[in-house]
Amino acid sequence: DAGVIQSPRHEVTEMGQEVTLRCKPISGHNSLFWYRQTMMRGLELLIYFNNNVPIDDSGMPEDRFSAKMPNASFSTLKIQPSEPRDSAVYFCASTLQGWNSPLHFGNGTRLTVT
C-alpha cells in the first residue's frame, strides 16, 4: 500500500499564475478530501468527493479554487489565479465512506505564492 500520493511536494509560484495540485488516493477508497492547513486557521476542509462526485464544496474559499475527480484514482485542486494569501500546506486524504473509517493523509503540498 503506497498510501495517498500528492504532487508536487513543494510549489513556488508568482501571484497570478495557475497552480495545480495532484492527488492519488489509496486504491479501493471511495471518499476523497482536500484540506488546507495554515497557522492562523488550522485545518480547513475545502471539498470532498464520494465515488468521484463532489458532495460539499462549501469550504472552497473563492471561485479561484476548483477541484475535479475524473476517476477513482486521481484528483486535482486548481487555483487560478493564485494570490499570496493562498500560501499554505494543502493535504489530500482518502477513506472508505462511513462513520468509523479513519482518514489516510498524503504528505501535503507546500504552496508559496510570491
Q: Where does this chain bind other proteins (CB under 8 A)?
A: 4, 31, 33, 42-43, 45, 48, 50, 55-56, 91, 93, 97-100, 102-108
Q: Give least dist CB 105 to other proteins, A.
A: 3
Specify the residue, 65 or 91, whose C-beta has the smaller distance to other proteins. 91
C-alpha cell at 42: 488550522
Specify the residue, 11 or 106, whose C-beta has the smaller distance to other proteins. 106
Instruction: Find, among 78, 96, 94, the residue nearest to 86 by Cα.
Output: 78
Specify the residue, 17 or 101, whose C-beta has the smaller distance to other proteins. 101
Instruction: Find, among 51, 85, 43, 50, the residue nearest to 65 by Cα.
Output: 85
Q: Is 44 helix (H, G, I), strand (E, B) or coil?
A: strand
Specify the residue, 42 or 70, whose C-beta has the smaller distance to other proteins. 42
Contact 22, 111 (CB under 8 A): no
Q: What is the distance between the terminal CA atoms of the chain, rounded to a whole angstrom?
A: 36
Q: Give least dist CB 97 to other proteins, A.
A: 6
Q: Give least dist CB 81 to other proteins, A.
A: 27
Q: Give least dist CB 55 to other proteins, A.
A: 4
Torsion 27-32-38-42 (CA) sign: negative
